[in-house]
Amino acid sequence: MSDIGISISGYCRPSSPSIVEITPPDIARRRLANWGAIQADAVKVTRRETFEYRFQARRHLLIAYERAERHDGETLIEGLPKSTLREFNGKLSFVPAGHCFYGWQIPRVLTRVTYFYIDVQDPLFDPETGITCPLISPRLFFFDQAVWNTALKLKAEVGSCDPGSRQYAEALSLVLIHELIRLERTTSVATRPIRGGLPVWQQKRLVEFIEEHLAEDVSLLTLAELVDLSVYHFARAFKQSFGVPPHRYHMDRRMDRARSLLQRPALSVTQIGIQIGFRETSSFTRAFRKITGLTPTEYRGHREA
């Protein structure tokens, strides 16, 4: 299932002091280093319990996951599909300035991750220097050898007492920025809409509409009219873009919401079913089991075990 363009603004608020907010804060040890245009934030999670993370600021965020595995969880970057990937050791993510980044997870291992904050307002990017930091697309769980190698070299300089460490880190910062720009240029073609599918702006409009009407029965005609297409052409283009028919996409999103609500012990299964549009608990249970293979009660018990 794809959640392209999903609106996640409700998850975020402007970060202060412009670093990734981790909740609970005492679950992680952090070491920070500031080299002007780039600040590094090396994080080690110390307990295997559920934690959340969020970020939204006027600077780019590059994430290098050295060790990251989870029993359950999700990660979202504004403008991209949500991911429930369980293992992302050795992966990278990029959050452009102003975009919302949010996630939660139950770690399978003690997470080790480094956040690199890129200040687009730093004097380094003054036009007179010949260096500019262009718009870079959001990316979730990708890999690029050059970016990865440079990021690890920078991370190794966090806490260094070598007199030449700062100059070396500043030089690496420039290299890292150039690697990100190179990556954007070389992969821009791959971000074009799938032939025969919906343009990105239409996907975004549809996803936002479905999210706002998650507990309602939305007709195919309503969705087709939203993007000014016939029902036939809309249904075909939607499946081409999202991989599933509109009704299945809507139901998958309902079940995703149900899984999230089942983490709250104070809510009964009946209350959760009503919140996502099921008047009868039995109907909710059947739909949930069809998608997940478990009843809501079994799913909740499995998570608490």
Across the chain, which has 305 residues, the per-10-residue mean pLDDT values are 48 69 96 92 96 93 95 90 86 92 94 93 59 74 90 93 88 90 70 65 86 89 89 90 89 88 89 92 92 88 65
List the structure tokens of 303.
């998570």
Neighbours of 179 (CB within 10 A): 19
**Close Cβ partners of 295 (under 8 Å, ≥ 6 residues apart):** 285, 288, 289
How confident is the model at residue 219, as a pLDDT?
92
Domains of the chain: 9-190 (2.60.120.10), 200-304 (1.10.10.60)
The answer to whether the predicted template modeling score (pTM) of the entire model surpasses 0.85 is no
How confident is the model at residue 84, as a pLDDT?
87
Q: At residue 213, what is the residue type?
A: H
How confident is the model at residue 120, as a pLDDT?
74
Q: How far is CA 99 from CA 58, 78, 160, in A?
A: 9, 6, 31
Beta bridge partners of 299: none
- Edge-to-edge strand list for the sheet holding 101-107: 21-23, 51-55, 101-107, 70-77
